[in-house]
Amino acid sequence: MRGPHNIWRLIRTGATFERTGAMGVVLDAFDAPKVVRIAFRTLVWPFKWTGIEGDPSMPPAPRALSALGPAYIKFGQILSTRPDVVGQDLANQLRVLQDKLPPFGIEQAERQIEAELGVPVSEIFSEFSAPVAAASIAQVHKARRADTGETVAVKVLRPGIERAFRTDIDAFYFAADMIETLAPAARRLRPRDVISHFESVVMGELDLRLESAAASEYAANTADDDGFELPSVVWGLSGRRVMTMSWAEGAPLGDNAALDAAGHDRERLSERVLQLFLNHALRDGFFHADMHQGNLKVAPNGNIIAYDFGIMGHIDEYTRRVYAEILYGFIRRDYKRVAEVHFEAGYVPADRDVDEFARALRAVGEPIFGMDATRISMARLLSYLFEVTERFGMQTRTELILLQRTMVVVEGVARSLNPRMNIWNTAKPVVEDYIKTSIGPRAALRDLVQTAQVLGRFGPRLPGLVEAALIRQSEGDGAAKRSSWRVRLGWGGAGAALGAALMLVWHTFA
């Protein structure tokens, strides 16, 4: 599918922006130089008539993105949380992409539910409303269960959404190929890997059984988190294209007027939403990766409610420690340690100078710490850090894409609640707590215990494993002759490793 026909897709994208009037809005929002404006207009204007007209009732930018398809809509949803990047006016326009897109017919939804669950909707629900929210992937209906009377939210995938998304992803791959061909310097960014990662995440969002499982795991991890709650999955009424959950009642987190009217403390909410995200990412390694205002509510008791679990992020323990040390180093302004962590993790090639890298990081961090709290931005830090790591040959880390993207989105959500929020002061206690529990002596003991458990399981096999490894490395006719001392070496190595582990535990607590 990835071929020259995608040139037309990309041309039509620019033409749609021009036809809907979004081109000027976007160029203004990014304060594009005159030469860039002229170049865009010159390239796109002849094809303007090929652009999709979209819904004239929508503002220009969301009109263009919604006309182009679900992948573009997802991009717009991210920008809607970044008024400091695109401006408040455009951010407000893009918020309609979160849960106010045109819905599909209720009859289509009922047919999909019946096909998925094998039972007519009238037998499952005593009440089934028109769509209450419509997003890029699916829409939600409010319903009442016929058997229990419980009010629930029923999520139904858009008809044909899988094919539509594959079309967009196909064009993105073509664009990535063009970038790698025409701009070799950009290969460092691994654009194809980035698109592949994005594809795997979104295609998982198109199977609601996976979303149900993610919601269940997320609920188990966060059950004891103060000020946070999740709706529960109704497994018997969920499947691949339908998902049913308990109804979440509350004020939308993006509606400041409603939050103020309900008496909620927006300053406290802004701190909580950022700290919750950091806790879930660092403590659990499993976090909500689509935490924009359209997926968050505030319950009458002040708890933050999250829903829509189609995009969840996962990072392993080692990556969490690296990320926490980098954040902690910036918070403490210990740029040498931040540089060392990059080298230890293999993020920067070993042949580069660590002291020079530390000085470059200082040039990134110090101007930010000198700013007023309202101007301190994680997005700005990531942007500056990207420039520095590019100079030092760091490649894009695909496993960190969702984490970094969500960090920027959550910062935008927090700032929409409290523009004067100090990101570093809010993040510091969470990161410090993680450092104490995961990188200190207790973490070292836990790692050693796990190592001893692994050695205990594989101990009887170690002689054979060492024997096989040494035979593969050996050359000449003397390999068989040396086998007996290799066996002894295998047992000796196992004993030495276990002995070293026990000695370190003893020294830690002596």
pLDDT at 444: 63
Length of the chain: 510
Mean pLDDT, residues 369-382 taken together: 67
Number of H helices and E strands in the chain, helices first, is 24, 10
Of all residues in the chain, the percent with pLDDT exceeding 90 is 31
**Across-strand partners of 155?**
140, 243
pTM of the complete model? 0.71
DSSP assignment of 76-129 equals HHHHTT-HHHH-HHHHHHHTHHHHBSPPPPHHHHHHHHHHHHSS-HHHHEEEEE
Tokens standing for residue 505: 């535990």
CA-nearest of 76, 29, 70, 56 to 294 is 76
Cβ 138 vs Cβ 158: under 8 Å: yes
Tokens standing for residue 109: 């939804």
Burial of 54 per CB tally in 10 Å (0-12, 13-18, 19+): buried
In angstroms, rounded to a whole number, what is the distance separating the alpha carbons of residues 408 and 383?
A: 11
296: left (phi over 0), alpha (psi -120 to 50) or beta: beta
263 CA to centre of own chain: 31
Tell me the range of 105-114, 285-294, 342-351 where mean pLDDT is highest. Answer: 105-114
DSSP assignment of 447-478 equals HHHHHHHHHHHHGGGHHHHHHHHHHHH--STT
Cβ 35 vs Cβ 49: under 8 Å: no
Burial of 416 per CB tally in 10 Å (0-12, 13-18, 19+): buried
Cβ 97 vs Cβ 66: under 8 Å: yes
- Among residues 99, 168, 225, 290, the one annotated as catalytic is 290
Q: Which position has the higher pLDDT, 88 or 55?
A: 55
Catalytic: 372? no
Neighbours of 175 (CB within 10 A): 17
CA-nearest of 363, 348, 351 to 397 is 348
pLDDT at 186: 57
In angstroms, rounded to a whole number, what is the distance separating the alpha carbons of residues 22 and 219?
A: 40
pLDDT at 286: 94
Q: What is the pLDDT of residues 444-499, one digit of tens each?
A: 676 677 677 666 666 677 677 777 777 777 655 454 444 444 444 444 443 433 34
- Range with lowest mean pLDDT among 36-45, 152-161, 289-298, 372-381: 372-381
In angstroms, rounded to a whole number, what is the distance separating the alpha carbons of residues 440 and 427?
A: 19
Between strands 304-306 and 228-229, the pairing is parallel
Cβ 12 vs Cβ 18: under 8 Å: no
- Range with lowest mean pLDDT among 230-244, 292-306, 323-337: 323-337
pLDDT at 257: 94
Q: What is the pLDDT of residues 92-124, one digit of tens each?
A: 788 777 666 778 999 999 999 999 999 999 999
pLDDT at 214: 94
